[in-house]
A and B are shown apart, each in its own frame.
Chain A
Amino acid sequence: MHLASLVEMVESGFDERVLLGSVAEPVTGAQFGQLVRAGASTLPGYTSLVYAGENHPLLPVALFSAAWAGIPFVPVNYRLEDAHLISLINRQPGALVLADEHTAARLGGIKEPVQLFDEWLANLPAEAPASEPPFDDDEVAVVLYTSGTTSEPKAALLRHRHLMAYLLGTVEFGGAGDDEAVLVSVPPYHVAGVANMLSNTFSGRRLVYLRHFDPATWLGTVRTEGVTHAMVVPTMLARIVEALDGAEAGVASLRSLSYGGSKVSERVLTTALLAFPTTGFVNAYGLTETASTIAVLGPDDHRAAISSDDPAVKRRLSSAGQVLPTIEVEIRDDMEQPVAAGETGMIYLRGEQISGEYASGSVLDADGWFCTRDRGSLDSEGYLFIEGRADDTIIRGGENIAPAEIETVLLAHPAVQEACVVGIPDDVWGQRIVSAVVLRVGQSVDEEALRDYVRHELRGSKTPDTIVFRDSLPHTDTGKMLRRVVLTELTQSLS
């Protein structure tokens, strides 16, 4: 199925329901349909629609206009440095580039036409010309550049059929009550930012956008807009918890708070559960190449894990939950053979929403399996535990060591705010384990005490050989640790 089909459903199914905008400036389903047709009428002749800017209340008009016009929507990371941003846009010859004011001023060097998104919206024809939407669901709907924490960004291709498989498999049309509103604070170029435009439009839930995230604005907007649902990346959750400083959030309207995109610290999560006592928590796991969420730890799972005395159930609080019924999962060893429950290996996925395709070609195997390059394990009831990128695995003296396991222990120490564990080259061991640690404000601990603490929790071979302290660690703006930057810095400073 093609995303353009959704526009007609939304127009007739939610003609008077408010789907976008603030309480003060609502946009109904019927108005949304008009905007999309008008938007699409400006696009003939272009090969793609690049969006280079912050979140915007009418962002979904850009995505659906591109779909209706039958060209890919390509949201790019406007926070990249100029040269990098321009090189990504130049990989889309023939595009129309819609930008916010600040970003447009930085795009002097590109060949493609640039328009301000606000001006493009203001100049749309009032009467949308009649047009037929395209049908071919094998066309590319969205191009997303992966965040490139371990290598250069790759252009992941999501076809209409992938996104629709996700949508039909997980969301019921009109499933949201007409009082529901979702607050979006992930940026447009994140796969969750694309997926939430689709899932909330399809369920009939009003999309409210934060232009950029800060904890006070987020909490304020939840209150003023009567927000019922929200999705944050773990860094945002950590900042909200920090800003609350032990107080309850006081957001009675918020029914569901979903987090995902990278690993959350257990301390942040348990503090958040206390700060939002009436909110259901959802952890979602997915990759750009899997067209968003493929596993979910729902509110009931969270409650069960917190209240259980069974260690196996308690432990699930740190899992990504169970995979969707529409997805197959296998954990495989180095010989690509499936392993038993409880054993760690590489996570492989298969299903209609799994794209596994880049501009350079598909990486699905002959049977349609996608290797996530994430390592993890399944417990006896199918709860998926993510241990981190395979490329980050440290091999010390022949032993495979997942940095995430050591980081989890370090993060549980009361003095530790952040930790990044990497392997740096070592003549004797092949690699040795080094951790960079950021301490919490007002806390102190020395290297030896912290090493003893890890040795007590794990064992000698998993204890960092060296721990260094830093004021901060580098992240992507969606909260993923930039490990290769940490690795380069530590390799240089310790050699």
Chain B
Amino acid sequence: MSITVKAGSRLYGATSTTELIVVKTPHAELELTIGGHPALLSAAERTGGTDVADGHGGGAAMGKRYVDEAGSVELLCTKAGEGVPAVAGEVLQLKDAKPLPASD
């Protein structure tokens, strides 16, 4: 099941506290899950519970970016939670940050 997103869309985990923002996406339609459950576009649709599918847990960390292998989808975690995001079944990986020396 896919949802319609664009850069800036906010995503909520159905069964975890995880919240993400879409930084970039190659298509408007994405088959997005958080913790193995379809990602929600509104916090009000949350079902509650703590059920996270195998391989889709371990935690998304606040302020970290998550990307697919191709680097075409990028999400930013704005609220930490147990469920991690996946696109079409592929669990997204933590993006290596290369912070620069503070310049301003």
Residues of chain A having any CB pair with chain B under 8 Å: 1-2, 5, 8-9, 12-13, 135-137, 161, 164, 168, 170-175, 182, 192, 195-196, 199-200, 202-203, 205, 229, 231, 256, 258, 260, 280, 282, 284, 292-293, 296, 298-299, 324-325
Which chain B residues lie closer than 8 Å to A196 at the CB level? 104
Q: Which of A12, A199, A200 contacts B62 (CB 8 A)?
A: A12
Q: Given known contacts A1-B8, A12-B62, A173-B63, is B101 in contact with A199 (CB within 8 Å)?
A: no
Q: Quick check: B8 and A2 within 8 Å, CB to CB? A: yes
CA distance A260 to B101 in the complex (A): 14
Which chain B residues lie closer than 8 Å to A182 at the CB level? 102
Interface bits B68-86 vs A (CB < 8 Å: 1, else 0): 0000000010110000000
Q: Given known contacts A13-B62, A172-B63, A173-B63, is B8 in contact with A137 (CB within 8 Å)?
A: yes
Q: Quick check: A298 and B10 within 8 Å, CB to CB? A: no
Q: Quick check: B103 and A282 within 8 Å, CB to CB? A: yes
Q: Quick check: A1 and B7 within 8 Å, CB to CB? A: yes
Which chain A residues lie closer than 8 Å to B62 at the CB level? 9, 12-13, 173-174
**9-residue interface stretch from B26-34, B51-59, B92-100:** B92-100
Which chain B residues lie closer than 8 Å to A229 at the CB level? 102
Q: Which 4 A-B pairs have the closest CB atoms?
A: A173-B63, A284-B103, A196-B104, A298-B101
Q: Quick check: A293 and B78 within 8 Å, CB to CB? A: no
Q: A258-B102, A298-B101 are in contact. List 17 more A-B contacts (CB 8 A).
A: A1-B8, A5-B76, A9-B62, A9-B78, A13-B63, A135-B8, A137-B7, A164-B23, A172-B63, A172-B99, A173-B62, A205-B102, A231-B104, A258-B103, A282-B101, A284-B104, A292-B103
Q: Quick check: B21 and A296 within 8 Å, CB to CB? A: no
- Give the number of A-B contacts (CB < 8 Å): 88
Q: Given known contacts A161-B7, A174-B62, is B102 in contact with A282 (CB within 8 Å)?
A: yes
- Nearest neighbor of A199 in chain B, beta-carbon distance: B104
Q: Report whether over half of chain B's contact residues are helix, strand or loop; otherwise say mixed.
A: loop
Residue B64 is within 8 A (CB to CB) of chain A in the complex: yes
Residue among A1, A8, A174, A293 facing the most chain B CB atoms (10 A cut-off): A1
- Write the nearest CB–CB distance from A265 to chain B, whole angstroms: 20
- Nearest neighbor of B78 in chain A, beta-carbon distance: A9
- Nearest neighbor of B95 in chain A, beta-carbon distance: A168
Residue B37 is within 8 A (CB to CB) of chain A in the complex: no
Chain B residues within 8 Å of chain A by Cβ, number: 21
Q: Which of B7, B10, B103 contacts A231 (CB 8 A)?
A: B103
- Nearest neighbor of B74 in chain A, beta-carbon distance: A168
Residue B9 is within 8 A (CB to CB) of chain A in the complex: yes
- Write the nearest CB–CB distance from B89 to chain A, whole angstroms: 25
Which chain A residues lie closer than 8 Å to B9 at the CB level? 135
Q: Given known contacts A1-B8, A2-B8, A174-B63, is B103 in contact with A293 (CB within 8 Å)?
A: yes
Q: Given known contacts A9-B62, A136-B8, is B100 in contact with A296 (CB within 8 Å)?
A: yes
CA distance A164 to B100 in the complex (A): 15
Q: Given known contacts A1-B8, A1-B76, A161-B7, is B63 in contact with A9 (CB within 8 Å)?
A: yes
Which chain B residues lie closer than 8 Å to A296 at the CB level? 100-101, 103
Q: Quick check: A293 and B104 within 8 Å, CB to CB? A: yes
Listed A/B pairs (17) with beta-carbon separation below 8 Å? A1-B8, A8-B78, A8-B79, A9-B78, A12-B78, A136-B8, A168-B65, A170-B99, A170-B103, A172-B99, A173-B63, A174-B63, A182-B102, A195-B104, A282-B102, A293-B104, A324-B100
Which chain B residues lie closer than 8 Å to A171 at the CB level? 99-100
Which chain A residues lie closer than 8 Å to B99 at the CB level? 170-172, 175
Which chain B residues lie closer than 8 Å to A231 at the CB level? 103-104
Q: Quick check: B78 and A170 within 8 Å, CB to CB? A: no
Q: Quick check: A170 and B64 within 8 Å, CB to CB? A: no
Q: Quick check: A256 and B101 within 8 Å, CB to CB? A: yes
Q: Given known contacts A13-B62, A135-B8, is B104 in contact with A1 (CB within 8 Å)?
A: no
CA distance A203 to B9 in the complex (A): 22
CA distance A235 to B79 in the complex (A): 42
Q: Quick check: B104 and A192 within 8 Å, CB to CB? A: yes
